[in-house]
Amino acid sequence: MALATNRRVEPVTASAVDRIAAEKLAAIRRRGTHRRMRVLEGAQAPRMCVDGREVLLFAGSNYLDLASHPEVVEASARAAHDWGCAASGSRLISGNLALHEALEAELAEFLGTQTALTFGTGYMANVGVIPALAAEGDVVVSDALSHASIIDGCKLTRAAVRVFPHGDVDALEDVLRQVASTHRNVLLALDGVYSMDGDTAPLAEIVPLAKRWGAVVLLDDAHGTGALGARGRGTGELCGVEDTVDINLGTLGKALGSFGAFVAGSHLLRELLVNSARSFIFSCALAPPAVAAARAALRVLRAEPWRRAQLQDNATLLRALLANHGISTAPSTTQIIPVVIGDNARTMAVCERLLARGFYAQGIRHPSVPEGTARLRLTPMATHRAEEIAALAHAIAEELAEAP
Ligand SMILES: *Cc1c(COP(=O)(O)O)cnc(C)c1O
């Protein structure tokens, strides 16, 4: 497939924008965190073409392999045919299609909530919902390893922000006790699954604690939705607190094989978001093919529960095989599996050597993870075969045994 690429044209004299960009890029290079984008071809699948080479993909979030599931593709194509490729407006101005309302009713039913509301992305959902609920005089409480979109949502509110050490329930209680008397509303914004470590928030302890101190719980379950829990409802279901989480935020772009995101909760929450979440109000509604793909994915999720079981079996197998090779994957308990190497350059070198051997395992550096904890981040899919997972573990063990 010959597709055009962005060709670099050298300017005659450096413009101001290029001077600024060059200075900032030099600083990024000095920190060893300069990034470039790899080019992939074909549908997201266990095996795909990365930078021109066919490799096994252990770096995606299409966990259940739904993005190219025949029913999902067919529903999406039919929607493009019947509804066109764009909603062409915000939900409040001409963009609110019956399709959106149908997906939202189905998401609410899936999650057992009164309502759901879709957003452009999970990032947009967090930067919309946090300022909508927490304003001046309020406080947002959040974990030190919160996803960037929770952090950015906090930056957009005039509320105070209190951060507690990662997963530390006692420290969280101290914060909740302090803010209960000094702030009007307390919003606890949490990841369900930590996207770089693969551990889950201790929700069975945290959610009752939050209730005791009168805090509202916002659960960002981007990696849990569809992937965890008996019915795939996510980390809340896994931890037995799904009915007491106030706000369920999830993405359609990971396990659900589509694009977009949602916030699920009460009728009044939805009404508030429609009336005040800026990333909802001032942005186009989801495109019909994405909406239809997500609806079909929800049906497949229900009809093919083996996908969720196989995903977790594959993750368990990969962690066990790495452990047999003496490689720690702590603290992962999910399909996100870190192999911490530490040094930025060595991590990226191992990543390149694995690619040359036919495995795409993404190297992750600061600022996605704390300085000095660069790592390979492995994400198996439900449809990887056991031999493929074993081959990956073996290749990683060989590469880590090499001198740095
Ligand atoms: C991926 C992710 C998001 C962003 O979701 P998108 O739909 O990709 O924008 C938000 N929160 C967490 C924890 C994530 O992992």
Provide the residue ranges of all domains of the chain, joining segments of one domain with +.
Answer: 35-63+305-401, 70-303
Domains 35-63+305-401 and 70-303 are alike in CATH topology: no
Is 189 exposed, middle or buried (CB count within 10 Å of its CB: 0-12, 13-18, 19+)? buried
> 145-182: per-residue pLDDT in tens?
999 999 999 999 999 999 999 999 999 999 999 999 99
CATH number among 1.10.10.60, 3.40.50.720, 3.90.1150.10, 3.60.15.10, domain 35-63+305-401: 3.90.1150.10
- How far, CA to CA in Å, does 393 sit from each of 62, 350, 353, 387, 397? 20, 13, 14, 10, 6
**What average pLDDT does the segment 207-232 reach?**
98
pLDDT at 275 over 80: yes
Is 377 touching ligand 1 by the criterion CB < 6 Å? no
In ligand 1, the atom with minimum distance to the C-alpha of 123 is 9
User: Which residue out of 44, 235, 251 has the highest number of ligand 1 atoms within 8 Å of its CB and is therefore the one to mutate?
Assistant: 251
The protein residue with its alpha carbon nearest to ligand 1, atom 12, reads 222
Phi, psi of 147 (to 5 degrees): -60, 150
Lowest mean pLDDT among 29-38, 202-211, 279-288, 351-360: 29-38
**The two three-digit tokens of residue 265, written as one number:** 């909760």
CATH 3.40.640.10 fits 70-303, yes or no: yes
Q: Report the run of H or E that residue 119 belongs to, with start and end.
A: strand 115-119
- Rounded distance, CA 154 to CA 298, Å? 31
Confidence (pLDDT) at 277 = 98
Kindly state the DSSP code that residue 194 receives in the 8-state scheme: -
Please tell me the distance between residue 148's alpha carbon and the centre of ligand 1 in angstroms: 9
In the chain, helix, strand, coil percent, each to 5?
45, 15, 40
Q: Helix, strand, or coil here: 370? A: coil
pLDDT of residue 367: 85
Query: Can you give the pLDDT at residue 403?
Result: 67
Q: What letter would DSSP give residue 232?
A: S
Residue 339 vs residues 4, 148, 315, 331, 336: alpha-carbon distances, Å: 35, 21, 13, 10, 10
Pairing label, strands 139-143, 160-164: parallel
* pLDDT (tens digit per residue) in 18-74: 999 999 999 999 988 899 999 999 999 999 999 999 999 999 999 999 999 999 999
Q: What are phi and psi of 106, to 5 degrees?
A: -70, -35
CA–centroid distance, 226 to ligand 1, in Å, is 14
Q: Is the pLDDT of residue 276 over 60?
A: yes
Q: Which atom of ligand 1 is nearest to the CA of 251?
A: 7
Count how many residues are written for the chain: 404
Give the count of alpha carbons within 13 A of 267, CB side only. 0
pLDDT at residue 3 above 80? Answer: no
Q: Is 33 exposed, middle or buried (0-12, 13-18, 19+ CB in 10 A)?
A: middle
Query: Would you say residue 2 has pLDDT above 60?
Result: no
Q: Is it the case that residue 5 has pLDDT exceeding 80?
A: no
> Annotated catalytic sites, by residue?
195, 223, 254
Cα of 126 vs centre of ligand 1, distance in Å, is 9
Please tell me the residue having the least CA distance from ligand 1 atom 14: 222
Q: What would the pLDDT profile of 130-146 be if each residue is shown by its tens digit?
A: 999 999 999 999 999 99
Per DSSP, the three-state class of 338 is strand
Q: Give Cβ neighbours of residue 281 (< 8 Å, ≥ 6 apart).
A: 90, 91, 92, 274
CB neighbours of residue 272 within 10 Å: 16
